[in-house]
A and B are shown apart, each in its own frame.
Chain A
Amino acid sequence: MREIIGRYGTALAGLTLIVFFVAFAPNFATTMNIVNVLKDTSFLAILAIGFTLALIVSELDLSIAEVASLSAVVTGWLIQGQQHPALAVTAGLLVGLLCGAANGYGVTVLRVPSLIMTLGIAAIAKGFAFMITQGVAFVGRWPTGFTGLARGYSFGIPNLVLWLTAVTLLTYGLIKWTRTGAHMVATGEADEAARLSGIATARMKRIGLLLTGLCAGITAVLLAANLSSAAPNMAGDYLLYAIAAVLLGMTMFEPGKPNIPGTVFAALVLKVLGNGLVLMGAAYYVQDIVLGVIIIGSVAFSASALKKAAFKV
């Protein structure tokens, strides 16, 4: 029983929250609102999956939001300049990969702690984003071939939800079912043990951070496509939300461990919470306060779940 509560307790609480809003928040349960919440969740969840991958190899990536902004700006810049959408998207993803590679290089070769390295990259990315845009946003009537990536539907399902599904399944498969994934997990759980078992731990850290950058790039392209615009600070708010999703996710399914299903479900819960609060008439700043409480509470809770797992069975 204790095990079940540890694994599914907060997930059930999240589910209860959704049921609560369905019952009591005006207009929550309309198709349009639910689709909007799901679309909104997709950006956050993909970015948070990125943060999860970094945390799985036991590194922090605090650059994800600024890197996403830079990727979006580069993508928007090329779209604005009438380049082919495929080229713009590729460039956006490459920016994410490049920043991820830089983080990995800094952490494993220069041996700068990821907390510092990724803050540095965040500042650099921010600087470049403002340099490219000169401080203003790229806005325009962008080709549907590009905006459709986020706004379109396939098989009656919003493309954004399909992108999220794809990223979730691929990363989950990687972590749970491949050797590389097992090596990443071992590296994050016990760096020295993994190294002594013949695992190339530095490489695993680089892979983790590289994929984090890629997730930031994917999020950026989808954000730009959805808004038909790209601003140098467009993803700024996402960092704290992504961290909250990952930490809340760590209280679910595999308590104490960063895990993909937890992150995705927690992202959904956070977006439902924000949406529900607004619909029930709460002021916009209430969200921030709740977010802070969730971040602190998750860590306090999952640390205690850890202790339970270790000593009480």
Chain B
Amino acid sequence: MTATPLLSLRGIGKAYGPVVAVREVDLDIFAGEVVAICGDNGAGKSSLIKVISGAEEATSGTLQMRGKEVIFASPHDALSHGVATIYQDLALAPRLSIAQNVFMGSELTRPLLLPFLRVLDKKRMAQEARGFLKQLSVTVEDMDRPVERLSGGQRQAVAISRALRWKAEIIIMDEPTAALGVKETALVLDLIRRLKADGRTVLLISHNMRDVVALADRVVIMGAGRKYVDQALGDLTADDLSHMIMAGNARAA
């Protein structure tokens, strides 16, 4: 491919004291792709994601966005560069409303009486939150409803809405279907297809090879902190992927 990658990792390493979780990973993500990152527990997927999402800084290596070096020292840095992460535990506040969750950390305000006095624009936030959910084909009427009263799939939609709110180009999803039932999983897979159709780039971390086969354009397989497979999905089946992961484990051992 000749196009400049949207996001490039060069020689990324992450160590926790003496424990090395990620070693020398190079990875290019192109706009509009769905890239699945697979690997067994302890393969280094989560640590790699934490580096890309700004939750933790890499111990070595560099990140580039569109060919320019960037430093993600905090989740806020990553978000403002258009990289949003949806964590396994969703990182939602269960008792807060849908609107409060979607706009958490990036609330809309309007001026009140005095030019420097700005108050929350709750009406617009509710309106826009409803819009994001609609875009994801999820209809919930009441934006004041606490997230704890939503189904698992709806919660994913709220979490994705937050990423949309940040105008994220790259959306990282950590095990989005791990805790869900069959119907909810179908809903979430559909949400991811919608994001792709919308031209967004998705980095999918999953243990579920069927999800990966259903969604990914490209698979990256990690083992013992290294990337050892990076190829287009092509005709690979879920079984093939499982074998590749196990082969990687064998090599790492």
Contacts and interface: CB of A to CB of B under 8 A. Distances in A.
Interface of A: 173, 176-179, 181-183, 185-186, 189-190, 192-199, 256-257, 309-310, 313
A183 B96 contact: no
Contacts of A309: 95, 146, 148
What's the interface size class on B, roughly? 20 to 34
What are the 7 closest A-B residue pairs judged by CB atoms, nearest first? A197-B105, A198-B76, A190-B93, A193-B91, A189-B93, A198-B105, A197-B104
A185 B96 contact: yes
A183 B93 CA distance: 12
B105 A177 contact: no
Given A178-B120, A189-B95, A197-B75, 12 more contacts: A177-B119, A179-B120, A190-B91, A190-B92, A194-B105, A196-B55, A196-B85, A197-B79, A198-B75, A199-B105, A309-B146, A310-B149
Interface string B60-104: 000000000000001110011000010100111111100010001
A186 B104 contact: yes
B57 interface: no
Contacts of B107: 179, 182
A193 B104 contact: yes
7 contacts: A185-B96, A186-B100, A190-B92, A196-B85, A197-B105, A198-B75, A256-B95
Nearest to A181: B120
Contacts of B149: 310, 313
Nearest to B91: A193
Contacts of B75: 195-198
B109 interface: yes
Given A179-B109, A196-B75, A197-B105, A186 B96 contact: yes
A192 B92 CA distance: 9
A193 B120 contact: no
Nearest to B148: A310
Interface of B: 53, 55, 74-76, 79-80, 85, 87, 90-96, 100, 104-107, 109, 118-120, 146, 148-149, 162
Contacts of B90: 193
Given A189-B93, A310-B149, A194 B104 contact: yes
A190 B100 contact: no
B91 A197 contact: yes
Contacts of A195: 75
A267 B106 CA distance: 34
B132 to A, nearest CB: 15
A305 to B, nearest CB: 12
A194 B119 CA distance: 20
A279 B55 CA distance: 59
Contacts of A178: 118-120
A176 B109 CA distance: 12
B162 to A, nearest CB: 7
Nearest to A256: B95
A171 to B, nearest CB: 15
B151 to A, nearest CB: 13
Nearest to B92: A193
Contacts of A199: 104-105
Contacts of B93: 186, 189-190, 193-194
A7 B106 CA distance: 29
Contacts of B95: 189, 256-257, 309
Contacts of A181: 120
